[in-house]
Amino acid sequence: MAVPTTFLVALMALLSFQSPVYGIRQQAGAELGGGGSSGSGSGGGLSAYPALRFRDDQTFKILQLTDLHYGEDLRLDAKSDQFQRDMIAAEQPDLVVFSGDMVSGWVCVPSSERPLPVDCGPGWFERRWRQLIAPVHAAGVPYAITLGNHDAEADLSRREIVDLDVRTGGLLSLTRQGPPQATGASNYYLDVHGPPGSDRPAARIWLLDSMNRFCPPLMFGWGCVAQDTLAWLNSTISGLPPVPSLAFVHIPIPQFKEAWYDAPTVGRKEEDVACSVRDTGLFNLAREVGLTAIYSGHDHNNDYAGLLHGIRLAYGRKSGYGGYGPPPGWLRGARVIQLRLGEDPAQSTTWIRQADGSVAVQEPSGQPKGMRQLECHSDEYGQQGPTDEQQQQQQQQQQPLKVEDQ
Ligand SMILES: *[C@@H]1O[C@H](CO)[C@@H](O)[C@H](O)[C@H]1NC(C)=O
């Protein structure tokens, strides 16, 4: 944080006047109005946004950016901007999904251990947000968000963040406010239509809000997709034409543990799964309604994908430069999911685009699966570990052991 204040202020001023370029990517199709491409069950009202659709070659490419953690440091945020631009340029996705912890709201939570940034308070989150969505706007790529556990820790609530994105995102934001009866805010779905000439939904992407901490009645551990949200999902889906469906959620569901130990996997696990403290039934509902792939973020040091009882459970790759991780030897990256018309999303082709431009094709790694993790990891500090910078600081300030540490 050794950035001169004048520089900080100048950059903040610049960012707060930077407004995204609103536009529609040609490939997203100019079909405005009728049909729409998404729904939230909350009534909607907006009808003019681009219809997502499969390409002529019957594929549809999603770029998952997860855990970008803007707001910790301007230099890191600038690197995350470049990271986003590189990922988008390399993959030319049809949709970008930001799967939570886009912003480290915790930096504006008063703490005795560190000073608050000077610009916390009204407008702090929006300044980060405008910077964060600038790369997708510059590229003209439609995008959608689901919230993480850190986004709503600063000056905006979950509902307010969704409103902000709808307001600032123009036609490119497909984010929608979830229905009032569903806990959280980022609960909605997007239909992907068939290739040009087809007006029917051909795939469906659910964005589900896994909240922050706690899963009532349990008042500890990580958040969950609430039962009221699942009830809404279940009743909504029964009124929709059945199509191949997948979901994005920030906090992994408990079955991510089982997927690692009991199922074929690709990719790696370098930390305990910090899953929802309680199983609210998303996995069983997914099996019931044919929602066959669930992608999460949250654990920066895991990037595996497994196939459990016909459902793909997969992490993204830690994207961007805020926050802890990824572990030594890994590059930051983004999961790419290529849907194919009519194909089961549990079988979609997927790979990791890495920050240096290389592609990691995830193979069964042969990594020993280790001692079975029985509980969802729930201690944030132990889970998230210190950042590189904090580690350096700690090494510099090594104190002799205190009595209570022995
Ligand atoms: C979903 O809804 C159906 C009725 O449409 C019901 O039979 C089923 O039990 C529900 N599933 C869950 C998990 O609530």
pLDDT (tens digit per residue) in 296-354 = 999 999 999 999 999 999 999 999 999 999 999 999 999 999 999 999 999 999 999 99
Q: Is the CB of 234 under 6 A from ligand 1?
A: yes
Residue whose CA is at the smallest distance from ligand 1 atom 1 = 234
CA dihedral 105→107→111→113, nearest 10 degrees, is 150
**pLDDT(400) > 80:** no
Q: What is the mean pLDDT of residues 376-404?
A: 49
- pLDDT over 70 at 73, yes or no: yes
Q: Is the pLDDT of residue 21 over 70?
A: no
Please work out, in degrees rounded to the nearest 5, the angle formed at the alpha carbon of residue 149 by the alpha carbons of 207 and 125.
95
Nearest residue CA, atom 3 of ligand 1?
234
pLDDT of residue 197: 84
Ligand 1 centroid to residue 234 C-alpha, Å: 6
Residue nearest to atom 14 of ligand 1 (CA): 231
Other C-beta atoms closer than 10 Å to the C-beta of 294 total: 27
**Is residue 285 within 6 Å of ligand 1 at its C-beta?**
yes
Consecutive H or E run containing 359? strand 359-360
Each residue's pLDDT tens digit, 255-274: 999 999 999 999 999 999 99
Q: Is 295 helix (H, G, I), strand (E, B) or coil?
A: strand
- CA torsion through residues 233, 234, 237, 243, sign: positive
CA atoms within 13 A on the CB side of 203: 28
Kindly report the protein residue whose alpha carbon is nearest to atom 12 of ligand 1. 285
Computed over every residue of the chain, the mean pLDDT equals: 86
Give percent of the chain with pLDDT exceeding 70: 81
**What's the rounded Cα separation, in Å, for the pair 77 and 107?**
14
CA dihedral 143, 146, 149, 151 (to 10 degrees): 40
| Joined tokens for residue 39 | 């729904």
How far is the first Cα of the chain from the last one, in angstroms, to the nearest whole number? Answer: 33
CATH for 34-405 is: 3.60.21.10
Cα-to-centroid distance, 45 and ligand 1 (Å):
28
* CA 232 – ligand 1 centroid, Å: 10
d(CA 405, CA 398): 13
Atom 2 of ligand 1: nearest residue by CA position:
234
Q: Is the CB of 239 under 6 A from ligand 1?
A: no
Of 162, 251, 177, nearest to 215 (Cα)? Answer: 251
pLDDT score, position 27: 34
Reply yes or no on whether the pLDDT at 167 is more than 80. yes
Residue 205: HSE in the Cβ half-sphere, 13 Å Cα cutoff: 35
Long-range CB contacts (within 8 A, 24+) of 159-167: 159/185, 161/125, 161/129, 161/185, 162/186, 164/125, 164/126, 164/129, 165/129, 165/133, 166/46
d(CA 289, ligand 1 centre) in Å: 9
Average pLDDT over residues 382-405: 41
Task: Please give the residue that has the higher pLDDT: either 24 or 157.
Answer: 157
Residue 397 has pLDDT above 80, yes or no: no
> Tokens standing for 150?
């850190």
Report pLDDT for 345. 98
pLDDT above 90: residue 374: yes
- Identify which of 227, 234, 237, 240 to mutate to test ligand 1's pocket (most ligand atoms within 8 A of the CB): 234
Q: How far apart are CA 148 and CA 318, in angstroms?
A: 13
Domain boundaries, the chain: 34-405
Q: Is 281 in the pocket of ligand 1 (CB under 6 A)?
A: yes
| C-alpha to C-alpha distance for 59 and 194, rounded to whole angstroms | 10
Quickly state the pLDDT bin for 280 (edges 50, 70, 90).
Answer: very high
**Residue 199's pLDDT is what?**
84
Give distance in angstroms: CA of 233 to centre of ligand 1.
Answer: 10
What is the reported pLDDT for 49? 58
Selected residue with higher pLDDT from 399 and 381: 381
Question: What is the structure's pLDDT at 311?
Answer: 98
User: What is the spatial distance between Cα 396 and Cα 390, in angstroms, rounded to a whole number?
Assistant: 10
Q: Best of 280, 283, 288, 289 to mutate for ligand 1, by most ligand atoms within 8 A of CB?
A: 288
Q: In the structure, what pLDDT confidence band is assigned to residue 380 with cuts at 50, 70 and 90?
A: low
Residue 50: band (very low, low, confident or very high) from pLDDT cuts 50, 70, 90:
low
Cα 276 to ligand 1 centre (Å): 22
Query: Does the pLDDT at position 387 exceed 90?
Result: no
pLDDT at 180: 98
Q: Using CA atoms, how far apart are residues 301 and 213, in angstroms rounded to an integer? A: 20
| Nearest ligand 1 atom to alpha carbon 231 | 14
pLDDT at 202 over 60: yes
Q: Which residues pair with 199 in a beta bridge?
A: none
The CB density around residue 48, as the number of other CB atoms within 10 Å, is 9
The mean-pLDDT minimum among 5-9, 164-168, 260-264, 334-338 falls in: 5-9
For the chain, the residue count is 406
Task: Record the tokens describing residue 235, joined without a space.
Answer: 């009743």
In the predicted structure, residue 388 carries a pLDDT above the cut 50: no
Closest C-alpha to ligand 1, atom 8: 234
Query: CA 137 to CA 120: how far, in whole Å?
Result: 25
Q: Is 385 or 187 the better-scoring residue by pLDDT?
A: 187
* Interval 200-217 mean pLDDT: 97
60 pLDDT band, cuts 50/70/90, is very high
In this structure, of 5-19, 54-68, 154-168, 200-214, the range with the lowest mean pLDDT score is 5-19
Q: Does 1 score more than 60 pLDDT? A: no
Question: In the predicted model, what is the mean pLDDT of residues 188-192?
Answer: 97
The DSSP bridge partners found for residue 148 are none
Higher pLDDT, 131 or 46: 131
Atom of ligand 1 nearest to the CA of 238: 5
Question: Encoding tokens for residue 222?
Answer: 């990580």
More confident of the two residues 288 and 401: 288
Cα distance between residue 393 and residue 400, in whole Å = 15
pLDDT band at 11 (very low <50, low <70, confident <90, very high): very low
> Regarding predicted confidence, which is higher, 33 or 237?
237
Q: Could you say which DSSP state residue 172 is in? A: G
Ligand 1: atom nearest CA of 284 is 13
Judged against a pLDDT cut of 90, whether residue 2 lies above it is answered with no
3-state secondary structure 89-148: HHHCCCEEEECCCCECHHHHCCCCCCCCCCCCCCCHHHHHHHHHHHHHHHHCCCEEECCC
